[in-house]
Chains A and B, each alone.
Chain A
């Protein structure tokens, strides 16, 4: 068996509201670590979001929940400034600036998310994400590179990963999401 394997790829032929990976059974529940790779855009028309949208991550559910047991922290650089933002007791993990919007059809954001030791019943689930999203211009609303962490205050093994756009209502056609499993 290869050390790193693609568990599932979802390539969108049409807009969808959510993307879900169910890893409750083999082979999804047989790895040491997970890695999610996304190249995505949403249908957001939110003016302030311009070419960037965020991704909300939920675990072990097929629908968005409001359990307030997530936290996230992010640092990012834009045109000329670096900053950081954070949230505690949140409904989801936030991955900032990881997706394009409807503003530019050809512009998609890119993200790599690590979910380490995701089956360990003695650990809260934590993530790290490296992301970038760029539009055609040079303004701070058009581009970003970031690094962030996520925390789910729950020691249950991860069996589902649910991805929901923040500003937009849908992930746009052409978005691609692949979940990899990494062996120990």
Chain B
């Protein structure tokens, strides 16, 4: 049996604020999200975007720890809120340049544990100036409840959009 199954694909033909996958099958062991995205508005050091689960929009339901670099000195910190998971280039970055983002959500269908995810995201740019590029590794915790994840929404944040040509793919991964 194949270990990977492609569950969903969204490719934006027009800018959009949110991409949501609902009624996610509970048949897999893990989920993997791959995103190639760019933000429609300006901003330095990239734009963070939300990953929210099961429709929960309450920042207090989420926490995270991250390692980030946008200067020569990487820093780490922790925070609360769904909006800190991943990063992407903004319209201030080189034209036609999209971030490469991968999020792993292990054991998403169990109903005993809080769900943790691991994301790696990039805001590439043809610049070496501080805060005109960014790299981010982030571990996130969703602790509202231990429900299985049935819905994932990606929200561009800041009141603006993912640009056209941004793509979003959801994969289900089977164990043995």
Contacts and interface: CB of A to CB of B under 8 A. Distances in A.
Contacts of A86: 128, 133
Contacts of A184: 6, 9, 167, 169
A153 B126 contact: yes
Given A116-B167, A150-B124, A182 B34 contact: yes
Nearest to A151: B124
A88 B169 CA distance: 29
B164 to A, nearest CB: 8
A149 B169 contact: no
Interface residues of A, number: 41
B69 A127 contact: no
A87 B100 contact: no
A90 to B, nearest CB: 9
A124 interface: yes
A4 B5 CA distance: 9
A122 B171 contact: no
A71 B122 CA distance: 13
Given A151-B125, A151-B126, A75 B5 contact: no
Interface in B122-175: 122-128, 133-135, 137, 165, 167, 169, 171
Nearest to B165: A122
Contacts of B134: 73
Interface stretch (B18-26, B50-58, B90-98): B90-98
Contacts of B67: 75, 82, 147
Contacts of A114: 34, 100, 102
A116 B33 CA distance: 12
Interface in A30-87: 32-33, 71-75, 77, 82-87
A184 B165 CA distance: 14
Contact of B9 (A32, A120, A149, A153): A32
Contact of B165 (A33, A75, A89, A120): A120
A3 interface: yes
A88 B73 contact: no
A2 B72 contact: no
Given A153-B94, A184-B9, A126 B122 contact: yes
A77 B169 CA distance: 30
A88 B123 CA distance: 14
A130 interface: yes
Contact of A124 (B5, B97, B122, B137): B97
A155 B124 CA distance: 15
Interface of B: 2-6, 9, 34-36, 67, 69, 71-74, 94, 96-102, 120-128, 133-135, 137, 165, 167, 169, 171
Given A84-B73, A117-B36, 16 more contacts: A32-B169, A71-B94, A73-B69, A73-B124, A74-B135, A75-B67, A77-B74, A82-B74, A83-B72, A88-B125, A116-B34, A116-B100, A122-B96, A123-B97, A123-B165, A184-B6
18 contacts: A3-B2, A71-B125, A71-B133, A73-B69, A73-B124, A73-B133, A75-B69, A83-B72, A86-B133, A88-B125, A88-B126, A120-B165, A123-B165, A124-B98, A126-B97, A127-B100, A128-B122, A147-B67
